[in-house]
Structure 1
């Protein structure tokens, strides 16, 4: 089967038609659109995929509290905080954290102050913010509650920071911010949100940590070859997964450089692209044409 319901992408000629044991999905802009619940089509397709015996996991920049309440469907383990943490909703095992060093977190906070950008620094018991921001309040209510407090040198000296997310609402300073973060020695990857098309959110994680590196770590422990993994996403922070999996699927809204790394392209999130992709993977696995 060649998954004809999906369009070919940049690396389509390299696809080897592998068996698929694990389907990994990004959240915002992929599994979820403008609401915190997946569409009926996406939920149904994911359920059919799991029922067929294919394991399902999320890989997201969100924190664990931001995962959809789909424990019966997707027990995990899931990759959260853009690869900085692995968690399980029901079936425990393989949980881990790759945290920032205290000195790196302090230098990152200094960069945020210099650029006067809003950022969230995530700890095990909640999050700290660089300053109040009305644009972020909706996310606080939906996913994580109000911040514990402001980011200060004292907080960073006493707190393990798992990941930070820096908001560049205009997108004009992204390249500079990514360069500054890299100069600290941290990993920096861009992500987007469907409700804020002009904004760029930069995930700052420990050196070398990304969705892709943590997916590799997790697959080694699950005993699943990376060639047997299908990954879908819409952002540049999904590129590290696309480079290593056997089946990489970009959403229709993905930037051109992300599509270039994928084997296939699905429709965008508002056309249930994730459902189309999951049905194509199911058809490939079962040897039947996708409906």
Structure 2
């Protein structure tokens, strides 16, 4: 079986010995570095693989740190019908409409905002349906046009006690900010996940969400709502915030350009993004998808 996977562009990951090739009924794909890179459009090979997965009856979804607006082109090109996980697990959408959400404590959000403003750290806040920033510095512009679109305003003008903050993303353009943000997140009991984005090479990006809220938690909740067990999930990702969904899925695939830590957390490793690693993984594992499996639309009790 190993030789077969290698011939199709897959290699063993750090948890390969735990993998039992379970059936696949649901697929969750990370976006930045997995489904998209520097370009705004997915590759034709990726789109074809996503449609082939759905033709076999599996549910296709995306799991990302992006806000809802960052999903549009992928859902349109792939015809995805599954529930999507955004804001690093803090919000789940079905057809663009929130069906589950977990905000962080208001006092914690206010503390992080004050720290960022006091220390000149750039951060983005998902507050209610708005995309807010600490400031509009030029270096952050790729996050607005390429990922989120916006911003809607600045965080200093908002009363966080009267709003729901789903996620805070701190871009550590100043490297010394990273340990301080990690310490603050730990002090406040928030979940903190590292991430990367192709449009910000070398920048440490930290995602803060409510306690216990992560991509993995969001993916597991969305799958359970659709009547799909975590064992029946195939997930693909490339960054630190994908490790939590690797931990819950029956089949976890790391992109080839991912760090050694990410590859060690996965069952399998595919080719890098530039070699259409996501498409290769989906085609290689399509035989794990039972033909004519229903889309599992029923909700769990």
Q: TM-score, normalised by structure 2?
A: 0.88
Which residue of structure 1 lines up, in the alignment, with residue 68 of structure 2?
A: 64
> Deviation string for 1:203-234 (max 9, x for gaps)?
11111100111112122211111111111100
1:74 to 60, 80, 84: 80
Q: How many residues in Structure 1 have an aligned counterpart in Structure 2?
A: 285
2:238 to 234, 237, 240: 234
- 1:43-58 equivalences in 2 (<5 Å): 43-58=47-62
Q: Secondary structure, in 3 states, of the residue corresponding to 1:198?
A: coil
Please say if residues 37 and 68 of structure 1, whose CA atoms lie closer than 8 Å, have aligned partners that are also in contact: no
Query: How far does residue 164 in structure 1 lie from its aligned partner after superposition?
Result: 1.0
2:283 to 276, 279, 284: 279
Unaligned residue ranges in structure 2 (runs of 5+): 292-301
Query: How far does residue 142 in structure 1 lie from its aligned partner after superposition?
Result: 3.9
> Deviation string for 1:129-186 (max 9, x for gaps)?
1112112223323444432322127522332212111101254532332221121111
Q: Secondary structure, in 3 states, of the residue corresponding to 2:248?
A: coil
> Deviation string for 1:34-65 (max 9, x for gaps)?
11211011011111111111111100000000
Please say if residues 195 and 240 of structure 2, whose CA atoms lie closer than 8 Å, have aligned partners that are also in contact: yes
Distance change >3 Å, CA 116–CA 12, structure 1 → 2: same
- 1:30-49 equivalences in 2 (<5 Å): 30-49=34-53
1:9 lines up with 2:13 in the alignment: yes
Which residue of structure 1 lines up, in the alignment, with residue 167 of structure 2?
A: 163
Unaligned residue ranges in structure 1 (runs of 5+): none
Which residue of structure 2 lines up, in the alignment, with residue 86 of structure 1?
A: 92
Alignment partners' CA distance in 1, 2:237 and 2:176: 23
Q: Secondary structure, in 3 states, of the residue corresponding to 1:96?
A: strand
> Deviation string for 1:100-140 (max 9, x for gaps)?
22111101112213432100111233222111211222332
Q: Secondary structure, in 3 states, of the residue corresponding to 1:167?
A: strand
Q: TM-score, normalised by structure 1?
A: 0.91
Distance change >3 Å, CA 171–CA 27, structure 1 → 2: farther
Aligned CA-pair RMSD: 2.0
1:118 lines up with 2:145 in the alignment: no
Please say if residues 126 and 144 of structure 1, whose CA atoms lie closer than 8 Å, have aligned partners that are also in contact: no
Alignment partners' CA distance in 1, 2:126 and 2:156: 13
